[in-house]
Amino acid sequence: MTDDLARAFQRTVVDPGFVRLRAAGATVVVGLLSAVSAALIGGLSGESLDLVVLAVMLSLSYTQERAGATIRQRLLGAVALPVVAVAAGGVGALMVGLPVLAAVLFVLAMSGAIWVRRLGPTASRIGTLVALPFVTVLVAPLPVRPSAFFPLWTALVALVVVAWVVIVGVLAQRFGILPRAVVPAPSAAPRAAGKRDHEREHGRGPERAPGEPAPRRALVSTRMAVQMAAALLVAFAVGYLFFGEHWPWVVLTAYLVSSGNRGRGDVVHKGVHRVLGALGGTIAATLLALVARPGDAAIVVWIVIVLALALWLRPVGYGWWAAGVTAALSLLNDYSGVSSQDALLVRLVAIVVGGVIAVAAAWLIMPVRTGDVLRRRTAEALAALSAVIAAGRDEQELLEERGHDFEVAVARLEQLAPTLRAHRAIRLRDRGGVHRADVVELVSLCRDPARRYRRAVREHPGVVADGELRAESVALSRRLGALRRTLAGRADDTDVAARRVVVQEGLRDPGAADVSEAFVELLDLFGRLDEPIALLRRARR
């Protein structure tokens, strides 16, 4: 398993062709152009600094939202972004005169953005647009004193951000800086699959055996929304009462730790990393600010560098993103001249308190078990792999769609890997060395043979459908079905036949050798998945 872990780590950390770094650079360019545009608009409105901060946060939010979105979702996001910006600007205005009302509206907006995930992929993407614009009201370096026309200025800034995102994206793809985006064509099957995925993720929960009653639990999205609301309400109260003008750091950390909740274990793991990252980012920003004065252009350069590095390293670990964002916000405060070195200790304490609040909410209020999320996402990945094998045999025109679905399912499953590996490192139970993290790593290893299988079928149509490997493909599907039934608690003696898959030698069809090799590798991985899958089914925490 050590080799498997090394491979998974390499896939996570290595950035072939610096694709992630180039994407981060493009995002930073969008942020800079948006900031300059907002400064020009602010010159007319007299609210330059607030609009610049808003522009940078919107550029980050909208760039992330566009990734993997369909044309329809992108258009809807472009329309929704100005509306979200206006709402965020209104809440920011209330932070000065009516802070309690502003806090309530802020909590409703952030928790509501999580609650709407049950409505489907499009609603989820709109929800993601809410986060960073509303976080802007926490990080504005000066008290917000907007004029009556401030909502109109924020809407204009949002439209400018949309324009720069599109322009930079098109030019970057045109000159080969970024890969061309592949937008899936609309069809009934993907829509149905997307609906099922959201039902599993935010509704029905893990697969159940026939006749097994559904657990009387609130929907996952509801529980996550309630946790976020509770964490933010407590953070606002504690911040207002004990931290004075530094209250935003408590709320900001509580949000960062609570967001993207994939189970209570995941919240603890992210909480530790994000608090440590935020502490490191604050200290680094303080040290950088020692060599610059408020208003010094060098601080702006450091902000750009920090954000680029944070975006690049974000997939590697939560701590890097938290460190980068916190450092950038600290530098922004230093640039505006409202920060002081004496505030460092208070800021660090506020960050720790915010992290503790978020972890407590995740564990004590309607907790989401990491094991439940792992079982659900494993079931999704195995079902998607089964569809890939069947498509190569019976529905070759859908093979690429099914392959894309499997890649997405594996990526979602791998999001749980850091938490599970950390648990394995500190608490490996005496079960023959088997751990739940093994499931993630073994399913991830299925990706390469699945790709080779798709390529062979694409280059040699009919090699499975009409060739000598059809029977083996059916048997392999049965073997995969046995794993899925074990995961759902429905394994029985009839599954034994599905375990015997014999791949023929001396195959005559072109490309059959490639398919045979992929089948052999998948069969080996399925065998190694037996015990971890059984453990995953038994594990209840």
User: Is 370-538 assigned to CATH 1.10.10?
Assistant: no
The reported pLDDT for the residue numbered 426 is 77
The reported pLDDT for the residue numbered 4 is 43
- 21-25 CB contacts, 8 Å cutoff, 24+ apart: 21/308, 21/312, 22/172, 22/177, 22/178, 23/178, 23/311, 24/308, 24/309, 24/311, 24/312, 25/177, 25/308
Closest by CA to 146, choosing from 89, 84, 86, 87, is 89
Per the CB < 8 A criterion, the answer to whether 354 and 310 are in contact is no
**pTM of this structure:** 0.75
Q: Spell out, as residue ranges, where the chain has pLDDT lower than 70.
A: 1-17, 44-50, 61, 64-71, 73, 139-150, 180-218, 292-297, 300, 318, 334-343, 427-432, 465-468, 491-511, 538-541
The reported pLDDT for the residue numbered 175 is 83
In angstroms, the CA 271 to CA 339 distance is 25
Residue with tokens 């872990």: 5
The reported pLDDT for the residue numbered 159 is 87
Give the up-direction half-sphere exposure of residue 73: CA atoms within 13 A in the CB hemisphere: 23
The reported pLDDT for the residue numbered 1 is 42
Instruction: State pLDDT tens for residues 485-531.
Output: 888 877 554 444 444 455 555 555 656 778 888 888 998 899 888 88
Per the CB < 8 A criterion, the answer to whether 261 and 147 are in contact is no
DSSP 466: T
The reported pLDDT for the residue numbered 309 is 81
In angstroms, the CA 379 to CA 410 distance is 11
In angstroms, the CA 442 to CA 92 distance is 47
Domain limits of the chain? Answer: 18-175, 221-368, 370-538
